[in-house]
Amino acid sequence: MKKVLIPTKLDTAAADLLREKAYQVVQDAEHQLPELAAAHPDTEVLIVRSEKVTPEIMDALPELKLIVRAGAGYNTIDIKYARRKNIAVMNTPGANSNAVAEEVVALMLAAARHLVPADISTRAGKWEKKRFMGTELTGKTIGIVGLGNIGRLLIKRLEGFEMRILGYDPLISPGLAEKLGVELCSLQTIFEKSDYVSLHIPENDDTRGIINYRLLSLMKPGATLVNCARAGILNENDLRLAKTEKKLFFCNDVYPKDEAGEKTVADLADVMLPHLGASTEEANFNAAIRAAEQTVAYFEQGITNCVVNKGIPDGLDEAYQRLAFVLTSIARGYLGRDQHPTRIETSFYGELNQYAKWMTPPIAAAISSEFDIFQDTADAESFLASRGIELLNRDVDDEKHYGESMTIDLFAGDEQVSQASVRGTITENNLMVSRLKNFDKLYLEPTGHNLFVEYRDQPGIIGKIASVLGEKNINIIDLRAPQDLKIGNSLAVIKTNIEIPAMLIDKIKEDVNAEHAFQFSFET
């Protein structure tokens, strides 16, 4: 009889279902997780909501085999440490999505009709109808930043309001956007044209602080910003300035920490809630049932969908998964982040061909930071398909003697197709990028900060780039400069001691009239 510990106020449906399947269940929301772990060291399954599952917790549970996050986000669980201890970590994606989508609609209505201050005023015995003159959602424009599960459900929930819906998601193809009933556009257009902007993107290195003054200053006077995603994607100080200038409305449900105490956005938010996005009876029930069902399926049927920290098969060096991630990242950078990938074609040579499916998760993770490199192949395939991205693994000719190498080709565009092709391998235990497009013999070790600049081949270009970097005290550590003689272009790949600011990359591109200029930083 497997023992399950549920240290949270999860709907009892999970415990009931598990007990029916002969699991021993301890559900206790009154005591802290470290205390419960010490009291139940024979726990084999841990089902949590927002509780932090640290290495110390895992060490205190030597029999632990599975951690289930009853919800989508699992940033409170140390999944890498769990992997080292052969503990599977699952989430229950989509269980809370409808609850969050409906909350956004509620916040939009609350802002439009001044529900919170009007309630306070009326309870105080006042009658301020003129003060609380509102607006209607019908016929207005909403911009949805991020078209994942929540963003798409929000589109459905808003259908009755006959709103014009703009959407931003670098991974959604125009064809899929048309099916969803959303007009794809840039972030700048979203903030310029929308009466309401709703945020639905994860917080990571790419998105942290992405909603800044440059975008906020573009908003219409009196427009409404809704953040039910993550606190870190929004620059609070920038919003503070833009809100004053444009008299914006701000509705917020997310904070750096889910805990009592003063909130830094208290002076900013017209409506603020204590992270209630997933706090509905239905969402709690859905998350509980899915957590229990996935637990049973995992142990009784070996079903590993939704495991977010999968290992790799015997015989495959994990470094090749990292190589697939790196090559796809470079291809993505070459195409440009504003391009929507429509197709991925892969070639795996030598012994790697038998492990092709295991490369899909790192490829998907490189395409979008929403996907985790540790997730399942089926999850990766489903994720790419949901974004309208076709994946094709090509047959290879090993008589070319490429050894254990791989080529990742990325395509974007429906009418005028752009392509980026990158090949790499592992040499002396080091990742090596051997080719980008037709720039062969690149032999780049993808570590540190790397600036890629493609330009028409002519003397003095590298000197100009070096001069711009030197003026900003940026040191050049390494330089590669292969040529494509067929089209007369050169590619400079410059490794620098620090990350180059985006504005400086734009200046370099303009100064040398470059066709492509982008930077990628890789951990050593």
Residues 6+ apart with CB under 8 A from 275: 253, 254, 255, 258
Q: Is the confidence at residue 317, as pLDDT, over 90?
A: no
37-71: per-residue pLDDT in tens? 999 999 999 999 989 999 999 999 999 999 999 98
- What is the percent of the chain with per-residue pLDDT over 90, rounded to a whole number? 77
Average pLDDT over every residue of 429-442? 94
Q: Is the confidence at residue 399, as pLDDT, over 90?
A: no
Dist CA 210 CA 205 (whole Å) = 10
Phi-psi region of 388 (alpha: psi -120 to 50; beta: other; left: phi over 0): left
- 416 vs 138, residue with greater confidence: 138
Q: Is the confidence at residue 523, as pLDDT, over 70?
A: no
Model confidence at 401, pLDDT cuts 50, 70, 90, reads low
Model confidence at 258, pLDDT cuts 50, 70, 90, reads confident
**Span of 117-131, 391-405, 428-442 with lowest mean pLDDT:** 391-405
pLDDT for position 414: 66
- 307 vs 236, residue with greater confidence: 236
DSSP per-residue string spanning 286-333: HHHHHHHHHHHHHHHH---TTBSS----TT--HHHHHHHHHHHHHHHH
pLDDT for position 347: 94
pLDDT for position 114: 96
Q: Return the C-alpha torsion angle 283, 289, 292, 294, nearest 10.
A: -90
pTM score: 0.73
Q: Is the confidence at residue 456, as pLDDT, over 90?
A: yes
Average pLDDT over every residue of 157-178? 90
Q: Which domains does the chain have, with CATH numbers?
A: 3-93+282-301 (3.40.50.720), 97-272 (3.40.50.720), 311-432 (3.30.1330.90), 438-524 (3.30.70.260)
- Residue 109 phi, psi (nearest 5): -65, -40
Dist CA 433 CA 415 (whole Å) = 30
Over the chain, what is the mean pLDDT?
Answer: 92
- 136 vs 375, residue with greater confidence: 136
Q: Is the confidence at residue 312, as pLDDT, over 90?
A: no
Model confidence at 133, pLDDT cuts 50, 70, 90, reads very high
91 three-state secondary structure: strand
Q: What is the C-alpha radius of gyration for the chain, rounded to an integer number of angstroms?
A: 25
Q: Is the confidence at residue 442, as pLDDT, over 70?
A: yes
405-426: per-residue pLDDT in tens? 999 999 987 656 789 999 999 9
Model confidence at 2, pLDDT cuts 50, 70, 90, reads very high
Q: Quick count: other Cβ atoms within 10 Å of Cβ 472?
A: 12
pLDDT for position 203: 84
Q: Indicate the residue type of 39.
A: A
Q: Is the confidence at residue 524, as pLDDT, over 60?
A: no
Model confidence at 403, pLDDT cuts 50, 70, 90, reads confident
pLDDT for position 485: 87
343-381: per-residue pLDDT in tens? 999 999 998 988 898 999 999 999 988 887 777 788 889
Task: Decide if 309 contacts 370 (C-beta within 8 A).
Answer: no
Q: What is the DSSP letter of 351?
A: G
65-89: per-residue pLDDT in tens? 999 999 887 878 998 899 889 899 9
5-21: per-residue pLDDT in tens? 999 999 999 999 999 99
- Residue 342 phi, psi (nearest 5): -115, -25
Model confidence at 174, pLDDT cuts 50, 70, 90, reads confident
334-351: per-residue pLDDT in tens? 998 778 889 999 999 998
